[in-house]
Chains A and B, each alone.
Chain A
Amino acid sequence: MAKDIAIYIEQREGVIQSVAFELISEAKRLASVQEGKQVVGVLIGSQLENSAAELELYGLDRLIICDDEKFELYRTELYTEALTSFIREEDPDILLIGATSIGRDLAPRCSAAVKTGLTADCTKLEIDEATGNLLMTRPAFGGNIMATIICENHRPQMATVRPGVMVVTREEGESKMEVERMDVSKLDLTVRVKVLEVVKTIKSHVDIGSARVLVAGGRGVGSKENFEILRGLADSLKGEVAGSRAAVDEGWVEKPRQVGQTGTTVRPELYIACGISGAIQHIAGMENSGYIVAINKDPDALIFEYADVGLVGDFKTIIPMLSKELGV
């Protein structure tokens, strides 16, 4: 009978991707409510000794390593072959894969190969206490709906999980992780797709439209130097700095970062507006943000009407307070 919870441990150039740690922690949490369930990782790649060692602190019960130089780069065909072989051999109850551009290539191919269901981009996982089935919750319809999906009659219950959503926990004490090696020789390692070149890119262009967090400033920020305070917060929240038209016209922030009627329309998960009065042209560009924080000295500023949380005061004192509270 299918029983374990399996994790595909994604590595790139031998570096375990952070989503893998998130998935292990999440799998441990799911396993804790079901007796006898183990958490098994499967790591596919080349020269993986160091990578495997890195996993010891996270509480995997078993790690299965598929190590061969042919797996140096991610190749759909080879990785599908290895992962489906793992599924057939181990028959896990659940298989979780990070919803990265690799996971979202590999998971559907494998699910089709082993004929089971797959739920994409999950943001929440629970075990249904009555049936023991995995409840996989994901946003759909442009984020307007949260749908809970089940896979009752096929195993494994496969899900890709959105990176950055699950919380990582480390295990205290000694690692009990057992390491096994997959027999690569029995795999069919023929490839049809040639990798001609690998090009690394460093993201350089400004794209406030796709940032999860925006820290925006308006006329009330007062100077280009003061914008650095906003930038500091944006950097520590892995977000971007944005500005109102007034701030752009003053030259405190670049035009591509302008939010509003004559700039970009944005909908980040968190929008922090500092010294922005809330002119209608600005509101038009950000009112659909997930969570709006407004900081302004003027208690009558229009921006407060659109904010989830409003703070009346000087951003120069409030932002450091916030950074301190967040420990950044």
Chain B
Amino acid sequence: MDFQLSEQNKMMKMLFQAFAEEQVKPMAAEVDEEEKFPIENVKKMAENGMLGIPFPEQYGGAGGDILDYVLCVEELSKVCATTGVVVSAHTSLCAAPIFEFGTEEQKEKYLPALLSGEKLGAFALTEPAAGTDAGSQQTKAEKVEGGYCLNGSKIFITNAQYADLYVIMAMTDKAKGTRGISAFVLERDTPGFRIGKKEKKMGIRGSATCELIFEDVFLPEANRLGKEGKGFSIAMKTLDGGRIGIAAQALGIAEGALEETVRYTKQRKQFGRSISKFQNTQFVLADMATKIEAARLLVYRAATLKGEGKAYSVEAAQAKLFASEVAMDVTTKAVQLHGGYGYTREYPVERMMRDAKITEIYEGTSEVQRMVVATNLLR
């Protein structure tokens, strides 16, 4: 196993680091405080080819590898977890399933605009009554002349009102349970489709999480992704990949919190010396750094396996499980080491702590990740 980043990975990282530091970081507090979707930065990321990293040039992608993409989400999330998830949802949950499960016509139709960032993508699986239990979908796609008629609603959809393309799961045959679910590509201005209420969230407050509402939306046959009844399988495989993105986001949040804390503890003086001179501080920082390194190895390994076309769903689950719990742990300790100031909005660590929590919940809760790992063990 090679623990080194390739030369290409390193240059990519340099780009993402500079972009995050100069463009994303100055906006991060505002994005959080005002629940502002970072649309200007999404456009700038498009200009720099950051919205189609791990896809081939022939569809307008960068031709980079999965690790390049992971580094992108990681570096963005170091300074702004909202921006990290915007890229992750677009790339892993919308562009990836179209690339992996789409027909050649579908790829040629949708990917160039998605990968150039001209269009932003979203993914819709969750419903009010179908969270972890994704099989109990209520949204229906009834077969009609030439296509399907879509009715129902989805909730907690990242990028919702800023997206142009949505990968949607809906029941085509309720009697078959999960085998009755099919996947579709929905375009923004399709009649009968609208954005519902926006969620007020604890963290990643800029990511425009909304409800999607479908009232007699006509979807032509050509918009069905994969075979009828294969939607659940497509969703699960998509989420396997998505977990790598969220794991990268969690890793980034933790790293960002550590950087802030190292800087702060060197500056902050109490009892006549900087608090970094106290052993308690040093030991906490050492633990934070060590856990982050362990998380990084898991995340990069999952990314490398996916990039090599090998099975990676257990590794992705482990990476997301571990990295998200590290993010929560590290950000909590970061706030603690910042003391009273850490609890205020003058320092970014309280935001990072709020942002970290979601990584233990979305794209499969920590419990779901444990189920994936355990099922594999006990098979």
Q: Which residues of A contact B (CB under 8 A)?
A: 261-262, 280-281, 283-284, 302, 305
Contacts of B347 in A (CB 8 A): 261
The complex places the Cα of A284 from the Cα of B269 at a distance, in Å, of 12
User: Does chain A have a CB within 8 A of B346?
Assistant: yes
Cβ contacts A to B, 14 pairs, < 8 Å: A261-B346, A261-B347, A262-B346, A280-B264, A280-B267, A280-B268, A280-B269, A280-B341, A281-B341, A281-B346, A283-B267, A284-B267, A302-B269, A305-B269
Contacts of A302 in B (CB 8 A): 269
The 9 closest A-B pairs by CB, nearest first: A280-B268, A280-B267, A284-B267, A281-B346, A262-B346, A283-B267, A261-B346, A305-B269, A302-B269
The complex places the Cα of A261 from the Cα of B348 at a distance, in Å, of 11
Which B residues, 187 to 243, have Cβ-Cβ distances below 8 Å to chain A?
Answer: none
The complex places the Cα of A127 from the Cα of B264 at a distance, in Å, of 48
Q: 4 more A-B contacts (CB under 8 A) besides A280-B269, A283-B267?
A: A261-B346, A280-B267, A281-B341, A284-B267
The complex places the Cα of A281 from the Cα of B348 at a distance, in Å, of 13
Contacts of A305 in B (CB 8 A): 269
Give a binary string over B262-275; 1 marks a CB under 8 Å from any A CB, 0 the rest: 00100111000000
| Distance of A293 from chain B, by nearest CB (Å) | 20
Contacts of A281 in B (CB 8 A): 341, 346
| Distance of A304 from chain B, by nearest CB (Å) | 12
Chain A interface mostly = helix
| Distance of B212 from chain A, by nearest CB (Å) | 37
| Distance of B241 from chain A, by nearest CB (Å) | 38
| Distance of A218 from chain B, by nearest CB (Å) | 15
The complex places the Cα of A302 from the Cα of B267 at a distance, in Å, of 12
The complex places the Cα of A190 from the Cα of B268 at a distance, in Å, of 63
The complex places the Cα of A281 from the Cα of B341 at a distance, in Å, of 10
The complex places the Cα of A301 from the Cα of B377 at a distance, in Å, of 61
| Distance of B41 from chain A, by nearest CB (Å) | 20
The complex places the Cα of A78 from the Cα of B341 at a distance, in Å, of 61
Q: Which of A262, A280, A283, A302 has the most CB of B within 10 A?
A: A280
The complex places the Cα of A283 from the Cα of B264 at a distance, in Å, of 11
The complex places the Cα of A280 from the Cα of B275 at a distance, in Å, of 12
Contacts of B267 in A (CB 8 A): 280, 283-284
The complex places the Cα of A199 from the Cα of B268 at a distance, in Å, of 48
| Distance of B240 from chain A, by nearest CB (Å) | 41
Contacts of B268 in A (CB 8 A): 280
- In chain B, what residue has the closest Cβ to A281? B346
- In chain B, what residue has the closest Cβ to A260? B346
Which B residues, 341 to 360, have Cβ-Cβ distances below 8 Å to chain A?
Answer: 341, 346-347
| Distance of A211 from chain B, by nearest CB (Å) | 22
Which B residues, 262 to 313, have Cβ-Cβ distances below 8 Å to chain A?
Answer: 264, 267-269
Contacts of A284 in B (CB 8 A): 267
Contacts of B264 in A (CB 8 A): 280
Contacts of A262 in B (CB 8 A): 346
Which B residues, 321 to 353, have Cβ-Cβ distances below 8 Å to chain A?
Answer: 341, 346-347
| Distance of B194 from chain A, by nearest CB (Å) | 39
The complex places the Cα of A284 from the Cα of B346 at a distance, in Å, of 13
| Distance of A264 from chain B, by nearest CB (Å) | 12
- In chain B, what residue has the closest Cβ to A305? B269
The complex places the Cα of A262 from the Cα of B175 at a distance, in Å, of 58
The complex places the Cα of A20 from the Cα of B341 at a distance, in Å, of 52
- In chain B, what residue has the closest Cβ to A261? B346
- In chain B, what residue has the closest Cβ to A287? B267
- In chain A, what residue has the closest Cβ to B263? A284
Contacts of B269 in A (CB 8 A): 280, 302, 305
| Distance of A27 from chain B, by nearest CB (Å) | 45
| Distance of B80 from chain A, by nearest CB (Å) | 16
| Distance of A205 from chain B, by nearest CB (Å) | 18
The complex places the Cα of A283 from the Cα of B346 at a distance, in Å, of 14
The complex places the Cα of A302 from the Cα of B268 at a distance, in Å, of 11
| Distance of B284 from chain A, by nearest CB (Å) | 19
The complex places the Cα of A281 from the Cα of B345 at a distance, in Å, of 12
| Distance of A307 from chain B, by nearest CB (Å) | 14
Contacts of B341 in A (CB 8 A): 280-281
The complex places the Cα of A308 from the Cα of B202 at a distance, in Å, of 45
| Distance of B192 from chain A, by nearest CB (Å) | 46
| Distance of B243 from chain A, by nearest CB (Å) | 35
The complex places the Cα of A261 from the Cα of B268 at a distance, in Å, of 13
Contacts of A283 in B (CB 8 A): 267
The complex places the Cα of A281 from the Cα of B342 at a distance, in Å, of 12
The complex places the Cα of A262 from the Cα of B264 at a distance, in Å, of 14
| Distance of A177 from chain B, by nearest CB (Å) | 54
The complex places the Cα of A284 from the Cα of B347 at a distance, in Å, of 13
- In chain B, what residue has the closest Cβ to A302? B269
| Distance of B283 from chain A, by nearest CB (Å) | 22
- In chain A, what residue has the closest Cβ to B29? A262
| Distance of B179 from chain A, by nearest CB (Å) | 55
The complex places the Cα of A16 from the Cα of B268 at a distance, in Å, of 50
| Distance of B141 from chain A, by nearest CB (Å) | 50
The complex places the Cα of A302 from the Cα of B341 at a distance, in Å, of 16
| Distance of A300 from chain B, by nearest CB (Å) | 12
